[in-house]
Amino acid sequence: MKRYDFDLIVIGAGSGGVRASRFAGLNHGKRVAIVENRRTGGTCVMRGCVPKKLLVYGSNFSHDIDDSKGYGWSIERATHSWSDLIDAKNRELARLERIYHKLLADAGVREFNGTGKLADQHTVEVNGQTITSEHILIATGGTPSIPDIPGMKESITSDDALDLNELPERIVIVGGGYIAVEFSGIFNNLGVSVHKIVRADQILRGFDHTIRATLEQEMKNQGIQIHSKKTVRKVKKLENGYSIKIGSNDILQADKIMCATGRIPNTSDIGLKENGVELDEKGAITVNKYSMTKVENIFAIGDATNRVTLTPVALEEAMSVVDTLYGPKRRAVSYENIPSAVFSSPPIGTVGLTEEHALRKHDIDIFLSRFQPMKYSLSRRNENSLVKLIVDKATDRVLGAHMMGLDAPEIIQGIAIAIKSGATKAQFDSTLGIHPTSAEEFVTMRNPSS
Ligand code: NDP
């Protein structure tokens, strides 16, 4: 008789939870259960990266249709149906969810629907049923947070924005981070009048300053109205839409207000603190470098730990927990040189140190190129690209690569391999370009910018 019902219970069937349970089941023959109270696939697949990127693709056609005219196409009158896009997106999500169920079943993982709560160190309650396990992995993700501002509860979050019944004519988006920037592009490309309220002096805190400033300018060029150094004071519901008071006296009116002011870990009311799992002041689960909580058989990964809240990081944390528990030796995740992208319009890709971060420890050279992508030469689209390399003068190592413009996320994924491998500027220079591309700019910049 086994001591517990399972070897591993995972609470949360998002990217991290599904990855850990599949590999524990398939590669290590463990008896695994996974508990989920919403849709299998979690935030990234059902309410985040995937549906968002589909809407980004959908909205970008508005520019592509304009561009096509410069290439000889004539399109009489292009129209767009928001509800058709949402229906198509929902069909795709349903298809992906079926795939996730199958992947779990093929790995022998048993799914439980409901909210999983820790009853003790080895027991999880779900829908009145108790299941026990040697190890437990908390992968409950996060949820949008709405600041405590009068009337702000009227606002929609990214969860709602992905499923609006109809496109508003005017929207106010609060926040200057990933989500606010990405949805500003989606709505603006689809013809919605977008006002964006940013409490900082610029969008995208933490990104390289040149990229921040250049994207902000491009967004303004595309018609997005950015109100910097402003916060929302009050939201009032009107008969038709909302009145939003910003700063001391300005009033905006909109059909929708969207709040994208960050996310908080899903860690309350699931028996964590009561059973010795420590949370920090933001509610994130405290873990060591092997993702182990203060309770040695309980691990936590992904947004619930609020380390680097990106899907590929959660996947890597999942793999490290599986290796640590069942592999030949325990393994920690490296958080250095994590590439990331913002699917703004135009998009951003970035890896390594920003100029500001690099300057704290290094004497650096900056290589910068601004150019118009060839695709826009005939279409005359008023949109430029920017690439930037940060190079350590002492070692010639490339410390950071940043790009804004067409295909930036796709290009930076490749550059990230070079940077992770410790490539020098001389090695970038000795790499031949692929002509004509935007990516070749990364290997053709010779003179540091002053
Ligand atoms: P972010 O943390 O990226 O941005 C939050 C924004 O809200 C910041 O501009 C912040 O301002 C502002 N803010 C916070 N509190 C307030 C407040 N009380 N009043 C006004 N403004 C406020 O969060 P997001 O919600 O955009 O995204 C959450 C996370 O999800 C991201 O950090 C990212 O890790 C992940 N994500 C990744 C994506 C990708 O990889 N492409 C896409 C979407 C999300 P300030 O800068 O001043 O702090």
The secondary structure of 331-357 as a DSSP string is: -PPP-TT--EEE--SS-EEEEE--HHH
Of the candidates 178, 152, 169, the residue with the CA atom closest to the CA atom of residue 231: 152
Domains 6-144+264-326 and 340-443 share a fold: no
* Residue 301 pLDDT: 98
Taking the centre of ligand 1 as the mean of its atom positions, its distance from the CA of residue 262, in whole angstroms, is 4
Q: Which residues pair with 404 in a beta bridge?
A: 348, 386
- Residue nearest (by alpha carbon) to ligand 1 atom 36: 178
> Domain ranges in the chain?
6-144+264-326, 152-261, 340-443
* Assigned CATH topology for domain 340-443: Enolase-like; domain 1 (3.30.390)
Q: ∠99-102-106 over CA atoms, to 5°?
A: 140
Out of 46, 178, 308, give the residue to mutate to test ligand 1, the one with the largest number of ligand atoms within 8 Å of its CB.
178
Taking the centre of ligand 1 as the mean of its atom positions, its distance from the CA of residue 365, in whole angstroms, is 30
Is the CB of 200 inside a 6 Å radius of any atom of ligand 1? yes
Say which CATH architecture domain 6-144+264-326 belongs to: 3-Layer(bba) Sandwich (3.50)
Question: Is the N-terminal amide bond of 347 cis, ω within 30° of 0?
Answer: no
Atom of ligand 1 minimally distant from the CA of 310: 34
Q: Give the integer Cα–Cα distance in Å for 243 and 64.
A: 34
Is the CB of 141 inside a 6 Å radius of any atom of ligand 1? no
Residues (pLDDT < 50) of the chain are none
Taking the centre of ligand 1 as the mean of its atom positions, its distance from the CA of residue 230, in whole angstroms, is 15
Q: Are 155 and 31 within 8 A, CB to CB?
A: no
Of the candidates 349, 339, 277, 344, the residue with the CA atom closest to the CA atom of residue 313: 339
Q: Are 38 and 97 within 8 A, CB to CB?
A: no
Q: Which residues are catalytic?
A: 435
Q: Which residues pair with 401 in a beta bridge?
A: 351, 389
Is the CB of 310 inside a 6 Å radius of any atom of ligand 1? yes
Q: Give the integer Cα–Cα distance in Å for 318 and 326.
A: 12
Taking the centre of ligand 1 as the mean of its atom positions, its distance from the CA of residue 215, in whole angstroms, is 16
Of the candidates 176, 185, 144, 143, the residue with the CA atom closest to the CA atom of residue 55: 185
Is the CB of 46 inside a 6 Å radius of any atom of ligand 1? no
* Residue 227 pLDDT: 98
Q: Give the integer Cα–Cα distance in Å for 125 and 59.
A: 43
CA-to-CA dists, residue 183 to 53, 214, 224, 271, 284, angstroms: 10, 18, 11, 35, 26
* Residue 108 pLDDT: 98
- Residue nearest (by alpha carbon) to ligand 1 atom 4: 177
Q: Give the integer Cα–Cα distance in Å for 414 and 433.
A: 13
Out of 182, 235, 245, 261, give the residue to mutate to test ligand 1, the one with the largest number of ligand atoms within 8 Å of its CB.
261
Q: What is the pLDDT of residues 264-290, one digit of tens each?
A: 999 999 999 999 999 999 999 999 999
Is the CB of 179 inside a 6 Å radius of any atom of ligand 1? yes
Domain 152-261, CATH number (from 2.160.10.10, 1.10.287.130, 3.40.190.10, 3.50.50.60)? 3.50.50.60
Stated pTM of the model: 0.97
Taking the centre of ligand 1 as the mean of its atom positions, its distance from the CA of residue 181, in whole angstroms, is 9
Is the CB of 172 inside a 6 Å radius of any atom of ligand 1? no
Taking the centre of ligand 1 as the mean of its atom positions, its distance from the CA of residue 396, in whole angstroms, is 33
